[in-house]
Amino acid sequence: MSGWAILNWLAWAGCAVFAVLLTIDFVRVERGRKGSDDEPEGGA
Amino acid sequence: MARGGEKRGRPAPHLSRVLGPMHIWALGVGIVLVGEFMGWNFGIAKGGTLGILIACWVIGILFICLVMLSTEMGSVIPEAGGQYAMAKYLLGPLASFNVGLMLVFEYVMLEAADALVIGELLRTLNPEIQVLPYVLLVLLALTYLNYRGVRVTLSFNAVITIVAFLTIFVLFFAARAHGPGVGPFQLAQHSSGLPFGWIGILGALQFAIWFYLGIEGTALAAEECRSTGRALPVGAIAGVATLLIGATLTWYVASGLLDAARLGRSVYPLYDAANATGIKFVIAALFAGTLLACLASANGCITDASRAWYSMSRDTLIPRAFSALHPKYKTPYRAILFLLPIAPAFGFTGLLDQVITFSILSALLVYLLTGFMMVRFRRMYPLGSIRRGYTAPAHPVPAIVLILLAAATLIGMYFGYWVNVVAGLAFYLAASVWFTLRRERHVDAAAFLARGAGEWPRPRGY
């Protein structure tokens, strides 16, 4: 496998890492939000 | 329009007030600087080398007017949303829905164009490179950065924007120092002048706008500034000054190093100009500069599009689900994630000119409305009736100039891309019909105007 092909796979791996990080945090926040349904949404 | 529905008792979460003038500069210039590295040069095919230069100055006047008006109105409305928030208080729900949607598409389409150019640029390195994973990696990484907080996002933008801006100077000085015999910049030999006369300038306006497109996005971060009245005008006007210097230098360097026919077709003109010098470190610097400018632009676009979407949701113009803020990072995390797939979806059509045209059309419609909003704003709130962080001079001249120049650019655009212009207008008309028939009755009047009602006095004649 050439160096460029390895780089391509590393880029895919990086995509997976960021997608997983975003998903984990999103699920955690949404589960926390379910527990406090009366919480007001954005606005000051 | 529905009434009530606000949940009382607990203070609502709000965006963090952490930004200073430097962050506002980074947001504005970061989004726009990519326009020096690509897009503007297609105007040479329409109006010639001199035509694009004159068009660049004319559009510079349009943007100076736009920034003056936006800054005056934005300094009074300390809310995320920029022109959207202004339309909300000055024009009503239907106009603000349209302005919000136009801003979202202006920035999302610009992000799609950035993704396209990043792909094209990486392809020049080696044919074995697959574009898709790198573009997705860039967009996911920038989305993650935006998700984690606005301060870190725009601090990062400041660094990469400064580096990208400096690479234009690297090209300028290196080409002067190492240029061939008669001088490095052979403007007279390479210039195509004004091949189509003054009408060519009209055609070039839509490409000259690329030098500045998106600078108004500085106002979208109004709510997140530590001091809105100071950070917005200082950051935005410094941004326009930076872009004027960058645009003039870019034109001079690229037009002096590449002949007009080649420059008019280039996907990345400054990188091609660097290649024309044959100096390795300059080529590497401009490769990095183009890449960083695309990154900074995509990063700022994610910030701005999500703020506009968040504001529309908070005001119940679209479902309220998107107005949720992250409990820890205080970012509109649902809006950020919802908009994530749209840019790559359009980007991978591969239609760079179509994507750019829709972005420019959306922006021009917002600029036209901004001129009308300023006239209405000064009628409703004359000088002295409300505390302004900044007052635009010589009213109504800037508003009239803005309206005339935006209309002239739209006419020029119609000559070259009439199908796109008609299709874009039809899209916004269809969205307006949907809003009027299906959504307007769900708009919560209390939520829509609650913030401004407490801070603004009644307008004259109310």
Domain count, chain B: 1
A5 vs B contacts (CB less than 8 Å)? 128
Q: B396: cis peptide before it, omega within 30°?
A: yes
- Note the pLDDT of residue B454: 65
- Inter-chain touch B144–A22, beta carbons under 8 Å: yes
| Among candidates A8, A40, A44 on the partner chain, residue whose Cβ is nearest the Cβ of B451 | A44
Q: Which residues contact B186 (CB under 8 A, 6 or more apart)?
A: B256, B257
By C-alpha distance, the chain A residue nearest B330 is A42
**Residue from the list A12, A22, A38 with its beta carbon closest to the beta carbon of B7:** A38
DSSP secondary-structure letter at B459? Answer: P
Residue B460 lies in a domain: no
Q: What is the pLDDT of residue B265?
A: 86
For the stretch B128-168, pLDDT in tens is: 899 889 989 999 999 999 999 999 999 999 999 999 999 99
Query: What is d(CA B445, CA B458) in angstroms, rounded to the nearest whole number?
Result: 17
| pLDDT of B412 over the 50 cut | yes
Provide the residue range defining the domain that includes B281: 21-448
Please answer yes or no on whether A18 and B324 come within 8 Å at the CB atom: no
Interface confidence, given as ipTM, is: 0.86
Domain CATH code at residue B406: 1.20.1740.10
Domain presence at residue B15: no
Cβ of B129 and A44 within 8 Å? no
Please answer yes or no on whether A8 and B140 come within 8 Å at the CB atom: no
In-domain check, residue B454: no
Torsion angle, alpha carbons of B319, B325, B326, B330, to 10: 160
B196 pLDDT band, cuts 50/70/90, is confident
- By the CB < 8 Å criterion, does A25 face chain B? yes
Q: Alpha-carbon distance B84 to B46, whole Å?
A: 33
Instruction: List the single residue in A25, A32, A42 with the smallest CB-CB distance to B310.
Output: A42
- Taking one residue from A and the other from B, the number of pairs with CB-CB distance under 8 angstroms is 84
pLDDT digits (tens, 9 = 90+) for A1-39: 788 899 999 999 999 999 999 999 999 999 998 766 544
Q: Which pLDDT band, with edges at 50, 70 and 90, does B201 fall under?
A: very high
Handedness of CA B401, B402, B403, B405 (dihedral sign): positive
Within-domain flag for B305? yes
DSSP B223-292: GGBSSHHHHHHHHHHHHHHHHHHHHHHHHHHHHHHS-HHHHTT-SSHHHHHHHHHT-HHHHHHHHHHHHH
Going by pLDDT thresholds of 50, 70 and 90, the confidence category of residue B22 is: confident
Q: How many CB atoms lie within 10 A of CB B113?
A: 30
pTM of the model: 0.88
Is residue B461 included in any domain, yes or no?
A: no
Nearest-by-Cβ selection for A8 from B133, B141, B337: B133
Considering the domain boundaries, does residue B350 fall inside one? yes
Residues 6 or more apart in contact with residue B179 via CB below 8 angstroms? B185, B277
What are the structure tokens assigned to B127, written together? Answer: 């044919």
Q: Could you tell me the end-to-end alpha-carbon distance of chain A, in angstroms, rounded to an integer? A: 55
- Residues B76-102 as b or e (16 or more Cβ within 10 Å = b): bbbbbbbbbbbbbbbbebbbbbbbbbb
> Is A1 in CB contact (< 8 Å) with chain B?
no
Asked if residue B7 belongs to a domain, the reply is no
The reply to whether B6 falls in a domain is no
Distance (Å) from the C-alpha of residue A24 to the closest C-alpha of chain B? 12
Over residues B61-72, the pLDDT tens digits come to: 998 898 888 878
pLDDT tops 50 at residue B8: no
